[in-house]
Amino acid sequence: MSTPEHVAMIEATVARQRAFFQTGATRPVAVRVAALHKLKREMQARETILLDALYADLHKSHAEGYMCELGLNLDELGYLARKLPQWAKPQRHPTPLAQFCSSSYQLAEPYGVVLVMSPWNYPYLLSLDPLFGAIAAGNCVVLKPSAYAPNTSRAMAELIAAVFDPGWVTVIQGGREQNAALLEQKFDYIFFTGSVDVGKMVMEKASRHLTPVTLELGGKSPVIVDRTANLPLTARRLAFGKILNAGQTCVAPDYCLVDRTVRDRLVEELKKQFQKMLGEDPLANRDFVRIINRKHYNRLQGLLEGENLLYGGGHRDDPDSDSGWIAPTLVADTLEGTSKPMGEEIFGPILPIIPYDTLDQAIDFIRQREKPLALYLFTQSRKTKERILNTCSFGGGCVNDTIIHLATHHMPFGGVGQSGMGSYHGKKSFETFSHYRSIVDKATWLDLPMRYQPYTKLNNLLVRMFIH
């Protein structure tokens, strides 16, 4: 429950954002472009500060932090700034003959005051990328990062305060109380990234004001490895996707369906890759990301209790935090999917290995579950690729790789069904945070009379001719 103090503070913040928006200060495209450039320069100047905060929250190395967060943020910023003047122009469309003489076009306008709620696992990437899109579209923004990553939240608040008037963009720090108070307010758009359960609550709250939403959720993203796959390369790319951010990734490979004839070989190759990437003792690797907090650390340990482990299973407490590390772990399972890790989204470096005998079995296994955010297929068979892409529904994915489909501004990223609704990145971010008004601009020097009453036979004939 939110306190009266929290509610009053949030109400004042939203009112301030709405008043600032009404001034029209965010409308000029040149102002938005300048703001994006300024934000990029400030991020570059604060790179070490931002990466240090990321290390403090997640023990994420500077190399991984830049590769998977800041580098992608900066790339997105630059792209939006370059393309925004073009996207903001009126979009011309053909005009039906019946509307002669007129011109038809669409104008993009900002929604108004936008709420961006982001998670802890990629605190910069999943907070700032939607923020960039909202700014590019001309909105005012309230950004609410996760309380589980306090150091990055504080770093983002300081970054935003150095670039924007607080009425344009502001960061609200805090936990559930602040979240609850924010969701009681009327926003013009809500962009949420997080769990399915919280996403449902956000949508329910938004529905009271008929507020449009984008929901970036998650789910159990499958991997399919058929008998034609290049197993050493498959294992390398699969291991990368699983240990990146210690598996705390919404599109991380969640379980692996593998042709029974190559199952044992794949397991051996995965063991080799884990050891090659993290060493013989992954728990001692300085670049291996920590589990975010004790709650999730204990949950992951619980998923392994009593399970048939093919590899890994170790864990180590962190003396400097209330959490620790979970070693990359392979769990044996069957097409019954009865292991504990198959009961929920894992969000950790644990990978169930499930053999199948026919591709139909793998497809049925996936289709019996909610539509995932991602799917990864490893094959050298064109027939298999076409079959999977034509029968399995998922948000996005890769053929012969993992994760990388979200690291581009040239294609949108989003889920389907329980894994989310809506999408963003690049131009799609601008479109997501814009309302497109359809305009017909009619000339006054000519007025075709046949649409007006009385409806004579001649008028009716002319209407039919013009419409068809």
Collect all residues with Cβ–Cβ distance below 8 Å to 331 and sequence separation of at least 6: 304, 307, 308, 309, 310, 339, 341, 350, 351, 352, 353
Q: Which CATH number fits domain 4-217+420-436: 3.30.1540.20, 3.40.605.10, 3.40.190.10, 1.10.260.40?
A: 3.40.605.10
pLDDT at position 1, please?
Answer: 55
106-139 CB burial, b ≥16 within 10 A, e <16: eebebbbbbbbbbbbbbbbbbbbbbbbbbbbbbb
Residue-wise pLDDT tens digits, 157-174: 999 999 999 999 999 999
- Of how many residues is the chain composed? 468
Order of all β-strands in the sheet with 102-110? 91-93, 102-110, 434-442
The answer to whether residue 250 is catalytic is yes
Range list of H helices, 334-381: 359-367
Q: Residue type at 306?
A: G
Here the contacts of 423-426 (C-beta below 8 Å, separation 24 or greater) are 423/214, 424/129, 424/130, 424/133, 424/191, 424/214, 424/216, 425/76, 425/129, 426/76, 426/79, 426/80, 426/83
Catalytic residue (one of 64, 68, 140, 250): 250
Name residue, tokens 């699969």: 238
For residue 246, the tally of other CB atoms under 10 A from its CB is 28
The answer to whether residue 177 is catalytic is no
Q: Percentages helix, strand, coil for the chain, rounded to the nearest 5?
A: 45, 20, 35
Name residue, tokens 């490893």: 378
Residue-wise pLDDT tens digits, 346-389: 999 999 999 999 999 999 999 999 999 999 999 999 999 999 99
Q: Could you state, in chain order, the average pLDDT of each consecutive group of 10 residues for the chain (468 residues)? A: 79 96 97 98 98 96 97 97 97 87 94 97 97 98 96 98 98 93 96 95 96 95 98 98 97 98 98 97 94 96 96 93 95 96 96 98 97 97 97 97 95 96 97 96 88 88 82
Catalytic residue (one of 64, 69, 76, 216): 216
CATH number of 222-414: 3.40.309.10
Give the closest residue to 332 by CA, choosing from 299, 349, 309.
309
Q: For the chain, what percent of residues have pLDDT higher than 70?
A: 100
The DSSP element (H or E) to which 50 belongs, if any, is: helix 47-58
Residue-wise pLDDT tens digits, 399-457: 999 999 999 999 999 999 999 999 999 999 999 999 999 999 999 888 888 888 898 98
> Which sequence spans correspond to the domains of the chain?
4-217+420-436, 222-414
